Amino acid sequence: MREPQRMQSVQSPIIPVVAELIRENPGTISLGQGVVGYGPPPEAIAQIQAFLADPENHKYKPVVGLPALIEAFRRKLEIENHIPAGDGSRLVITAGGNMAFMNAVLAISDPGDEIILQTPYYFNHEMAVTMANVRPVLVSTDDNYQLQPDAIRQAITPRTRAVVTISPNNPTGAVYPEEAVRAVNQLCRERGLYHIHDEAYEYFVYDGARHFSPGCIPGSAPHTISLFSLSKSYGFASWRIGAMLLPEHLLTPVRKIQDTILIRAPVVSQYAALGALQAGVAYCRQKLTAIAEVRDIVRRELSTLSDLCEVPQADGAFYFLLRLREEFDPLNLVERLVREHHVAVIPGTAFGLDRGCYLRVAYAALHKDTVAEGVGRLVKGLRKILAGQQRSAPLSEPD
């Protein structure tokens, strides 16, 4: 039988590989997976009774989402993100941010087109683009993992369909300033491209950093696709609820895609999401206090490694992306950290960082004592492993 090519070119997600390593080494503290340590608010769980009370809820429901949830999400966008209703955009409830991204890619591209991603990228974005037979065009962020609008401009070709940005960012924790997001959005407008902006971590900002939604820019609606997720903010990862705000003219293609692949996000989860939005951003803010404390611990500990690695500023999400000053095989380093020091992190290769050695540290899933222990093991482990290795030449600056 002929072996199909489509999935051959798609990378395998690294999270299950690290999870297997953790399983093989009991007692390992995971600073790996990007999840929060809390679940949904009680208001979300309370909605399950309402779901069960109506037998009609066991039947098919609208592809784009329950009207009540769309309305609640629209209100949230107006109040929190300053995105006015009736600006020519439409809202679709999806089964999470990843599904929203896939919907967007399929709706805007033909095989052989190009979509610009920033590196380091979120691996599922790169995988989705590749799966659609679209070419991911990779543009480096700068040494602080910030956007480089001029480099993005230079990467545009006649086949380019969209520029993707994520802020706050996975895997870097960088928060893009409003001017940078505006610059990309304006560039897309001028060049007839879509700007896909992923806001999964919109509430996770620290030290006075501010989240900015390009969907609020007047005149941005026809070319801006904004992606949202309840997975992180409301502890909803397993419930699979996200949303996409898209130009009206993309509604028909997105309906076709979602109707074929999913039909619609599970109705019980949509009820729960309605409850989560009733609890509102206050629920996440309450959790953020503890996460910010954990972040301080991690940052303090990592700063003691400054002779071995750089830790660029990360004012958002719940990640730090370490850049080692010396060459080392990242996957081998991750394996040794798990086997010899019982702490897990994610290698930068998963995010398209093929030159140099990078490690992503995620810190929102654990209690602060556990994180302190985990990051302590990481610091000790890195010191020991790197001291023992035959040092190669220092890395040249990335170009």
Ligand X SMILES: Cc1ncc(COP(=O)(O)O)c(C=O)c1O
Interface with ligand X (CB under 6 A): 34, 96-98, 122, 166, 170, 198, 200, 229, 231, 237, 242
Residue 280 backbone class (left: φ over 0; alpha: ψ -120 to 50; beta: rest)? left
- Residue 170 Cβ vs ligand X, minimum distance, rounded to whole Å: 3
Q: Cβ closer to ligand X: 119 or 379?
A: 119
Read off the tokens for 172: 């870097």
Residue type, 102: M
3-state secondary structure of 272: helix
Find, among 200, 266, 248, 226, the residue nearest to 63 by Cα. Answer: 266
**Smallest distance, ligand X to C-beta of residue 122, A:** 4
Q: Where are the beta strands (DSSP E) in the chain?
A: 29-30, 89-94, 114-119, 135-140, 160-166, 194-198, 224-229, 242-247, 309-310, 319-324, 343-344, 346-347, 358-362
Task: Compare residues 271 and 328 and give the one whose CB is closer to ligand X.
Answer: 271
Q: Is 181 within 8 Å of 149 (Cβ atoms)? A: no
Instruction: Write down the residue that tokens 């010899």 correspond to.
Output: 340
Least Å from the CB of residue 81 to ligand X: 16
Residue whose C-beta lies closest to ligand X:
96
Looking at the Cβ atoms of 341 and 360, the one nearer to ligand X is: 360
- Cβ of residue 339: shortest distance to ligand X, in angstroms? 26
User: Cβ 194 to ligand X, closest distance in Å?
Assistant: 17
> Which is nearer to ligand X, 22 or 244 (by Cβ)?
244
Under 8 Å CB-to-CB from 53, ≥6 apart: which residues? none
Q: Which is nearer to ligand X, 206 or 328 (CB)?
A: 206
> Is it true that the peptide bond before 394 is cis, omega within 30 degrees of 0?
no
| Nearest distance in Å: CB 276, ligand X | 13
CA 322 to chain centre: 17
Residue closer to ligand X by CB (options 89, 170) is: 170
Give phi and psi for 360, each to the nearest 5: -95, 130
Q: Which is nearer to ligand X, 197 or 342 (CB)?
A: 197
* Residue 392 beta carbon to ligand X: minimum distance, rounded to whole angstroms: 32
**C-alpha to C-alpha distance for 130 and 253, rounded to whole angstroms:** 19
